[in-house]
Amino acid sequence: MLGRLNHVAIAVPDLEAASAIYRDTLGARLTQPQGLPEHGVTVVFIDVGNTKIELLEPLGAQSPIDAFLAKNPSGGIHHICYEVPDILAARDRLKEQGARILGDGQPKIGAHGKPVLFLHPKDFSGTLIELEQE
């Protein structure tokens, strides 16, 4: 079911400062910030060749990233995103096996313009998993 690792997401309290560290200290090339109001975040992607790093900052008062940053004020790894060939088939198979899908269980459009779902971290060794349609 799982395809390649699409990205590792790092929640940050200050997207501009985090972007500067990756750009100026590590020499990374970054995308322009992209607001995703439906997900409550602003993101920047860093292409590292075989995958991407996603920096995400809270967007708006109801951002799910706020709670994460309250526990981790300096930021940290928030989730891991894997590609799947068929997101609905993956969702259905996971639900049959007892995995919990976050939200209403329906895919939303993610930062890459493709359907995404999030899986409950308690079902995956404490790791929030994002699935993205290939």
Query: Could you give the residue numbers annotated as active site?
Result: 130
Going through the chain in order, the beta strands assigned E by DSSP cover 5-11, 34-36, 41-47, 52-58, 76-84, 108-109, 115-119, 128-133
CB atoms within 10 A of CB 52: 18
Alpha-helix runs per DSSP H in 9-78: 15-20, 64-71
